Amino acid sequence: MSACFITGTDVGVGKTHVVAALLRDLKRRGVPAMGCKPVSCGDRKELRAMRDAAGEPTLQLEIINPLYLRTLADPRMGAEFERRAVSIPELAARTHELAAKYETLLVEGVGGWETPLCPGGTMADLAAALQMPVLLVVSNRQGAVSQAILTARAIQQRGLECRGIILNQQSEEWDTAAVTNRAMLEEYTGLPVLAELIFGDDELDSAAILA
């Protein structure tokens, strides 16, 4: 069994897009794999995308998403509005149970690395409890390098392995930042850019990224 925690420099950088692309490639290779999101907020369309990409469209969403909050906000506030308790040890235990059922499990965090999850706890605390290697998804835009440096350092300060960066181009237009970000990211973070998705691309080599 192998597992990986997928985080991003911010909300909306394309984490689910990356997870789904990896799951489709794993399925093509015949690798039993699944994606999960221990916590989700707002709606579950991202969970359905993961489930479909893994080839299990009828799998109950509760299995891959043990904590669902209807409130579109950081989980900490969403849980308070809905009077729900958030337990990091319980979420970690449920995730490890799921990981035992698949050869590969891709765990997607909510928002950025330090998104508030519960009183005194963030997504980084959940990642630390899971003790999985981390992939960092970075949107290929101006300002990405600074955000990536800060996030990579925060991951490493938790004692976790950051395997590398997935650079995701979310616009058809290419500016100077989009052209130069890859080299700058590798220089300043010391991490490899394992893949670079151009706008509209949904193909990733799972063997190269998850090896």
Residues labelled catalytic:
37
Residue 11 identity: V
Are 137 and 16 within 8 A, CB to CB? no
Nearest Cα neighbor of 181 from 148, 151, 134 is: 148
Cross-strand partners of 134: 5, 162
Place of tokens 């835009």: 141
Residue ranges with strand state E in 33-151: 33-36, 39-41, 67-69, 104-112, 116-118, 121-122, 134-139
Nearest Cα neighbor of 65 from 76, 50, 77, 78 is: 50
* Rounded distance between C-alpha atoms, residue 76 and residue 69, angstroms: 10
Residue 38 identity: P
Distances (CA, A) of 55 to 20, 38, 58, 204, 205: 11, 19, 9, 17, 17
CA 42 to chain CA centroid, nearest Å: 17
